[in-house]
Structure 1
């Protein structure tokens, strides 16, 4: 008679530690999110800062080794799993809210601004990686050469956080303003380009030769084709309101199972799970879902919002501002200068060359510099791949926070009409989350 072994779950101590850690994470996220709102910053900024504060950068400076007390080593793997689940659910929401109209029928200015504000930061970021290569802590990295870090840093510098940017534009009533519509369209196009670049970087970092890279590329194309030509039509048929089984329960199950399987598929072929979750969200038939069970995407989003603070804490545990040292401080300064200059000059320069006014060009440069949560997603991918060391990771996370925080005040400075909407007919919901994308067609204002 064969014996069966049942895998042991977490110990009672680990379970208690996980529950207390989750309570602390959620409470800290709430406090800092409310503080961010009072400072007219997106909620996500407060939650990112909460993650850094609970890490070695702040909490670790207090006596008693509080980081290990609140987040003991046997609890951290479970926090990592929860953070990845929250990330996958969030990326499904980003894909689901993505509107293809942003990348259709766009004019010369949108094309020029999008390409320029990706190409220039990418080139500057890759060049910076080459210059910083002698300072890399190779023991913390899984790659020996400079190609993968250079490509990754270029891709990370190219990011504009589409959800956070759209929320900032919505808060300041710029949805119908030409510069706001152009910024939303450009951010959407840039996200597509940056994710494509990142997929190439991931494939290069994970492959051990030409054939594994080709196989990974073919598998990725096959997966995307299957999602578009097989999965989407099947979902359209299954989720049609006329079906006898239609309803919230079936819709919820199909979407959650689909996004998890898509995330698993991209992880299995050597890419990151976020690609599959985003792709499944993008192909999910919104018309059928909204007609039959419009509350289901909201439920998935709420689940991701509960778990995303865990992602920020897991990120914060790898950020140590106090450990930067002299080289780290120079790296941080270089990262900030390259990130801001690349985005601003790329966007503002292209806008000016295509006929935008000085104010429009400046505002576009400011808006394209917002990075936020999307940047943290990419940085965690890079840390997992081993193409970043601790100093560069800390510098890039700090850059993501700084560039997001500075967007609102600079927008108020250079665009006098950009003030939070307070009209009685359109009250501002202070509890609405800043990470939900605002879908606005650029053609309305162009």
Structure 2
């Protein structure tokens, strides 16, 4: 009985601390997001900076270390769970909104841009790893293998922040036009490739032999086939408009249960949970849901927006800008330069070579250089694996913020809102309206 009473008191104390921490996180995220909008930055930039500001980089520098008081060690596991829940809910919304029908006729470009904007930054990242490896704090790392470190840094340079990019594109009204959809498709392909390579690195670090890798590939293939040939037809039947009993409550419960199970499934396979949620969102039959309960996916996505700031704060607790020093600043400069050159040159160059207009190529380069949320996920994986030391982790987080902050001003200069492509509208037969004449496909096939 005494142990039960002590456990109950501990849970009560943790609950109170978590509630206070969440209140502070959400208040800071709201304030910084509002400030970000006023300087024409996406709200997510403010939320990321708010998370960093609540950590040792700013709040922790004040007398009494308020960061440690607000976020004691015993509540961090609870905050981690909430942050992961926010990620999977948001990634479901991203997958649900991705309309691949706009990509007809530009598959070659998607493939070329995706591969080029992964291979080039990956190669540059591996080269930078060779230069940085001697200066790392190897005693504080679990992995002291140059190859593992080089592969990981290559992956970290290759990533595009798919969720953050989706929010930027949505806030700018680009999510319904060909260029915005193509950017999301390229980012999805890139992130999938990067996560596959990361899975290989994780398996190499944590397991021995080739069987774990083979098993992961088999399970991932089975998961994808099951979604496409079992889950999607079942949901299409269940959500059909003639099923009067399948109203909003049934659809809401089914979608939430499905995305959580799929997120768990990919986590068990060895991939990140966000890919399961995204894949489930992409597999959901949109036509049936839009006809029956279009408000349900919006509710799910809105729930995620309340939890994502928790993830940014959890990451910010591991970042200490004050501890960078001169050598750390050099790391930041090197990392930012390699990241921008590799991503922009890879994406814009491939788009131009495959027939995109000059402006569209530049826009793709700018958009795919966006990092942030997915980059932070990758970096947290590297930190937990012991592939990164704390100083390089901080430098990489700074790079993620800088490359994301750059996107808005550069995009506004090259592709102002007044010049953005009109939304592609579909009639009942699924055909595109005449507004699609200004799509990327026109720029590809009717160049002067």
TM-score in terms of structure 2 length: 0.85
Question: 2-side partners of 1:80 and 1:318: how far apart?
Answer: 13
Report deviation, 1:296.
Answer: 1.3
Residue 397 of structure 1 corresponds to: 397
1:261-320 Cα deviation digits (max 9, x unpaired):
112222223332222222222212222222222111111111111111111100100111
- Using the TM superposition, give the Cα deviation of residue 334 of structure 1 relative to its aligned residue in structure 2, in angstroms: 1.1
**Residues 241-260 of structure 1: per-residue CA shift (max 9 Å, x gap):** 22243011111111111111
Distance change >3 Å, CA 235–CA 351, structure 1 → 2? closer
Q: Residue 143 of structure 1 corresponds to which residue in structure 2?
A: 143
Check the 8 A contact 1:383/1:393 in 2, yes or no: yes
Q: Give the corresponding residue for 1:372.
A: 372
Given the alignment of the two structures, is residue 418 of structure 1 paired with residue 436 of structure 2, yes or no? no
Distance 1:172 1:267, change over 3 A: closer
* Residue 371 of structure 1, CA deviation: 1.6
Q: Once the 2 structures are TM-superposed, how far is the Cα of residue 181 of structure 1 from its aligned partner?
A: 6.3
**2:73 counterpart SS class:** coil
Is the 2:141–2:387 Cα contact (8 Å) retained in structure 1?
yes
Q: Is 1:44–2:44 an aligned residue pair? A: yes
2:433 aligned residue = none
Separation in structure 1 between the aligned mates of residue 305 and residue 173 of structure 2, nearest angstrom: 24
How far has the Cα of 1:45 moved from its partner?
0.2
Task: Please name the residue that 2:11 is paired with.
Answer: 11
Checking the alignment, whether the CA contact within 8 Å between 2:200 and 2:213 is kept in structure 1 is: no
Moved more, 50-59 or 125-134: 125-134
SS state of the match for residue 243, structure 1? Answer: coil
Counting helix residues as a fraction of each chain, which structure ranks higher? 2
- In the TM superposition, 1:46-445 aligns within 5 A as 46-101=46-101, 104-106=104-106, 108-169=108-169, 183-356=183-356, 358-413=358-413, 415=414, 418-419=416-417, 443=441
Partner of 1:75: helix, strand, or coil? helix
User: For residues 101-134 of structure 1, what are the alpha-carbon distances to aligned partners after superposition, in whole Å with 9 as ceiling and x for unaligned?
Assistant: 3655315544433322221011111222232222
The 3-state SS of whatever aligns with 1:391 is helix
Deviation at 1:160, TM superposition (A): 2.5
2:174 and 2:279 mapped to 1: Cα distance?
28
- Cα deviation code 1:183-234 (max 9, x no counterpart): 4554344344334434444443443221122122222222222222222222
Mean Cα deviation higher: 23-32 or 206-215? 206-215
Aligned pair in 2 of structure 1 residues 17, 171: CA closer, same or farther (>3 Å)?
closer
Residue matched to 2:31: 31
Q: Which shifted more, 199-208 or 243-252?
A: 199-208
CA distance in 1, matches of 2:261, 2:240: 22
Higher relative contact order (CA 8 A, sep 6+): 1
Tell me, yes or no, if the aligned pair for 1:129 and 1:149 is still in contact at 8 Å. yes
In structure 2, distance between residues paired with 1:204 and 1:361: 37
Alpha carbons 2:125, 2:153 under 8 Å: kept:
yes
RMSD over aligned Cα, in angstroms? 3.0
Change in Cα spacing, 1:279 to 1:138, as seen in structure 2 (3 Å) is farther
Q: Aligned-pair distance for 1:442?
A: 5.0
Shift of 1:32: 0.2
Give ranges in structure 2 of 5+ residues lacking alignment: 424-437
CA distance in 1, matches of 2:179, 2:281: 27
Q: Which runs of 5+ in 1 are unaligned?
A: 427-439
Q: Distance in 1 between matches of 2:255 and 2:17?
A: 32
Q: How many residues align?
A: 426
Mapped contact 1:103–1:188 kept (Cα < 8 A)? no
Contact 1:176 1:445 in 2 (8 A): no
